[in-house]
Structure 1
Amino acid sequence: MGLKWTDSREIGEALYDSRPDLDPKTVRFTDMHQWICELEEFDDDPNASNEKILEAILLVWLDEAE
Structure 2
Amino acid sequence: MKWTDTLDIAIELYEKFPEVDPRYVRFTDLHRWAAELSSFDDDPEKSNEKILEAIQMAWIDEID
TM-score with structure 1 setting the length: 0.94
Q: Which amino acid aligns with 1:52?
A: K
Amino acid at match of 1:45: D
Structure 1's consecutive aligned runs of 4 or more residues displaced over 2 angstroms after TM superposition are none
Pick aligned residue for 2:56 from 50, 55, 58? 58
CA deviations 1:7-43 (Å, max 9, x no partner) are 0010011110100010111100000000001100000
Report the counterpart of residue 36 of structure 2 in structure 1: 38
Give unmatched runs, 5+ long, in structure 2: none
The one-letter code sitting in structure 1 at the alignment partner of 2:51 is I
RMSD across aligned C-alpha pairs, in angstroms?
A: 0.5
Aligned length: 64
Unaligned runs of 5+ in 1: none
Q: TM-score, normalised by structure 2?
A: 0.97
